[in-house]
């Protein structure tokens, strides 16, 4: 578990310095003692018709979505796949 936290902290600090501080603050204030992370694939909406709203959010603490593009100003944009843009999102 410690290795996972270190890996997450490393990724957050590389992506945006303030994100790490926000993560640490939220983690210290939370009563939750576990994390249930799922990986959402962007091609699932096309090949399997599995939409973000189909996720069982009552049992998920984090959704990992790798196909995003973080802009310099901190905004997040979807990366196109199959010439389409993901319109229904998280």
How does pLDDT run across 52-81, given as a tens digit for each residue?
888 888 889 888 877 777 888 888 777 765
Give yes or no: residues 40 and 23 share one domain: no
Q: In total, how many domains does the chain have? A: 2
pLDDT digits (tens, 9 = 90+) for 7-27: 556 655 555 556 556 666 655
Helix (H) or strand (E) holding 64: strand 62-64
Rounded Cα gap, residues 4 and 58, in angstroms? 22
Round to whole Å and give the CA distance between 36 and 87. Answer: 25
Region 26-44: what's the mean pLDDT? 73
Are residues 50 and 84 both part of a single domain? yes
Q: For residue 7, what are the CA distances in angstroms to 3, 11, 13, 42?
A: 6, 6, 10, 23
Whole domain around residue 28: which residue ranges? 1-34
pTM of the model: 0.43
Q: Are residues 1 and 40 located together in one domain of the fold?
A: no
One domain, residues 61 and 50: yes
Q: Is 83 found in the same domain as 48? A: yes
């Amino acid at each position: 578990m410690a290795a996972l936290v270190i890996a997450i902290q490393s990724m957050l600090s590389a992506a945006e310095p303030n994100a790490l501080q926000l993560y640490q603050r939220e983690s210290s204030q939370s009563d939750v003692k576990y994390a249930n992370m799922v990986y959402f694939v962007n091609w699932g909406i096309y090949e399997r018709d599995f939409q973000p709203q189909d996720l069982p959010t009552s049992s998920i603490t984090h959704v990992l979505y790798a196909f995003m593009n973080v802009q310099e100003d901190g905004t997040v944009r979807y990366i196109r796949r199959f010439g389409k843009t993901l319109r229904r999102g998280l």
